[in-house]
Chain A
């Protein structure tokens, strides 16, 4: 078998293993986040329907669904890579991967690919369940696919970086609770940034998560707080920068090889 064939097969194996890893505990990794999103929908929809101004002719509950879907995609894509890597590092079984001929590209493609699968699986589950509460169409479905996949890849990459950097579970939890969660909650999932005062609207525009969610929502309603092309530029640039950083960390063996 040629070196290229070995490399491709090895990459596919790592990808399959990472998908199997979360699928074997799917109650925790897929079903639980879906339930959480439904609860958000029920509570926020009940409390804020008719009280919060969003897009014209878009009921609040309908507005909320794409945000919840995307929030689930982002958080679970991050969780997949970060948790997998930190667990492997702390339990020591990462050695089985470190002694293989897999390149840094193989690691990146497999880990991020699996995180996209998990993010999309959870997002799809959230959508299927919540759609029954407020059915809506897809105004521009290509944007849904673009931002869904790019958002999952971005967060999967960020999760991989966090997993490489962290040396304790506590550090991953801190990353998740003090960075990822606030940034997703304050990105326009539950409200339109147009309803914010000027200052806070400007602050929101500095949050890359805002662009992922806003662009994703544009795919459903055909309207958004900013142009989807601007969102695409911000998300694309952020993804490219994170990919470059992640690949460099993997290539150098940062915190993987002494």
Chain B
């Protein structure tokens, strides 16, 4: 049985001329123990899909199951299996870190006074570097610490499925590494992880399988390795002060002096270099390397059809 199953999920907001289709017939499964990435540009529908999964929004049509439990008809069982780390940095200013975790655990049936539960909270605090702040009021914490408390809140009831909605947005490098090591450890211990992120290098490093959304539709769904192998696998990177010929510029990402051009095979590499020579482009720091997930993502997004999101 899949850990999470999205079955023909659609979601529209508004009505009439203001109707917006945020999700359109999204279907895919996440198997138990997977580390699954959900990628897409802003407005693609990632957070909407997670909101439907977590019960924060209701799908217009379709079904979502968590370990076989419908998130609407059997919401209690579904939500007991989920731990959700929201995107926004929110907290309750009335309580300390430990109180916050005890309360969150209590909502899922954990007894605040049970030694085993407190021991688990202590373990969470240790792994997330929050032991010193256990009795501090949430208002007193830095942004990074609040982010760690969000992760702890999602894990306190030991859910089999963990959902992280851009958990490292605005987080420094050191904290990002800490969080990922911790989440990767949980995944190795058997937790299913669903992650949305804009940091594609993290998705490439951590996710075994990825779905890409564009305008509410799934435009790619495959193992990360297959996605990397299936699209343009080679990347030319160079710097130049000269204008890049149109034939090359069409396929390139140009950031200042840096140009990145994808190529499917050696022949395409040679053709590209020949075009640059013919255009008398002075090339510096030429590198020929493997395409990464960011390259794959941009290629897929560029080739995927753009479906209007506003219905007329």
Known: A10-B106, A12-B106, A99-B82. A21 touches B94 (CB 8 A): yes
Kindly state whether residue A31 has any CB partner on chain B within 8 Å: no
B109 CB, nearest partner CB in chain A, Å: 3
How far is it, in angstroms, between the C-alpha of A168 and the C-alpha of B47 when the chains are bound?
A: 24
Kindly state whether residue B58 has any CB partner on chain A within 8 Å: yes
Q: Is the CB of B84 within 8 A of A99?
A: yes
How far is it, in angstroms, between the C-alpha of A90 and the C-alpha of B58 when the chains are bound?
A: 20
List 14 additional contacts besides A10-B109, A16-B103, A20-B94; criterion CB under 8 Å. A1-B109, A9-B110, A13-B112, A17-B95, A17-B103, A20-B99, A88-B92, A95-B86, A96-B90, A96-B153, A98-B56, A101-B75, A258-B51, A258-B58
User: Which residues of A, 1-17, contact B by the 8 Å Cβ criterion?
Assistant: 1, 3, 5-7, 9-10, 12-14, 16-17
Chain A interface (Cβ < 8 Å from any Cβ of B): 1, 3, 5-7, 9-10, 12-14, 16-17, 20-21, 24-25, 88, 91-93, 95-103, 253, 257-258
Kindly state whether residue B111 has any CB partner on chain A within 8 Å: yes
- Chain B residues within 8 Å of A92, by CB: 86, 88, 90
A-B contact count (CB 8 A): 87
How far is it, in angstroms, between the C-alpha of A130 and the C-alpha of B54 when the chains are bound?
A: 50
A106 CB, nearest partner CB in chain B, Å: 9
Kindly state whether residue B238 has any CB partner on chain A within 8 Å: no
Residue of A nearest to B150 (CB): A96
Contact partner of A14 (CB less than 8 A), chosen from B56, B76, B94, B107, is B107
- Chain B residues within 8 Å of A97, by CB: 107
Q: Is the CB of A99 within 8 A of B106?
A: no
Contact partner of A13 (CB less than 8 A), chosen from B57, B82, B92, B106, is B106
A258 CB, nearest partner CB in chain B, Å: 4
29 A/B residue pairs, CB under 8 Å, sorted by A: A6-B108, A7-B109, A9-B110, A10-B109, A12-B106, A13-B103, A13-B106, A16-B106, A17-B95, A20-B95, A20-B99, A24-B94, A25-B94, A91-B92, A92-B86, A93-B92, A95-B56, A96-B153, A98-B54, A99-B79, A100-B108, A101-B75, A101-B79, A101-B80, A101-B108, A253-B58, A257-B56, A257-B57, A258-B51
- Chain B residues within 8 Å of A12, by CB: 106
A157 CB, nearest partner CB in chain B, Å: 22
Encoded as 1 (CB less than 8 Å from any A CB) or 0, chain B from 49 to 66 comes to 001001111100000000
Q: Is the CB of A5 within 8 A of B109?
A: yes
Known: A258-B56, A258-B57. A6 touches B80 (CB 8 A): yes
Residue of A nearest to B163 (CB): A99
Encoded as 1 (CB less than 8 Å from any A CB) or 0, chain B from 87 to 100 comes to 01011111100010
- Chain A residues within 8 Å of B94, by CB: 20-21, 24-25
Residue of B nearest to A256 (CB): B56
- Chain B residues within 8 Å of A93, by CB: 90-92
Chain A at the B interface: SS class: helix
Residue of A nearest to B58 (CB): A257
User: Which residues of B, 80-137, contact A by the 8 Å Cβ criterion?
Assistant: 80, 82, 84, 86, 88, 90-95, 99, 103-104, 106-112
Q: Is the CB of A98 within 8 A of B55?
A: yes
Contact partner of A100 (CB less than 8 A), chosen from B93, B107, B112, is B107
Kindly state whether residue B180 has any CB partner on chain A within 8 Å: no
How far is it, in angstroms, between the C-alpha of A12 and the C-alpha of B54 when the chains are bound?
A: 22
How far is it, in angstroms, between the C-alpha of A184 and the C-alpha of B54 when the chains are bound?
A: 41
How far is it, in angstroms, between the C-alpha of A88 and the C-alpha of B111 when the chains are bound?
A: 24
Encoded as 1 (CB less than 8 Å from any A CB) or 0, chain B from 152 to 166 comes to 010000000000000
Known: A257-B55, A257-B57, A258-B56. A10 touches B107 (CB 8 A): yes
How far is it, in angstroms, between the C-alpha of A88 and the C-alpha of B93 when the chains are bound?
A: 10
Q: Is the CB of A95 within 8 A of B90?
A: yes
Kindly state whether residue B77 has any CB partner on chain A within 8 Å: yes
Kindly state whether residue B13 has any CB partner on chain A within 8 Å: yes
B82 CB, nearest partner CB in chain A, Å: 7
Q: Which 8 residue pairs are nearest across A and B when measured between Cβ atoms?
A: A13-B106, A6-B109, A101-B76, A92-B90, A258-B57, A100-B107, A101-B79, A9-B109
B135 CB, nearest partner CB in chain A, Å: 14
B68 CB, nearest partner CB in chain A, Å: 15
- Chain A residues within 8 Å of B86, by CB: 92, 95
Residue of B nearest to A91 (CB): B90
A150 CB, nearest partner CB in chain B, Å: 28
A81 CB, nearest partner CB in chain B, Å: 15
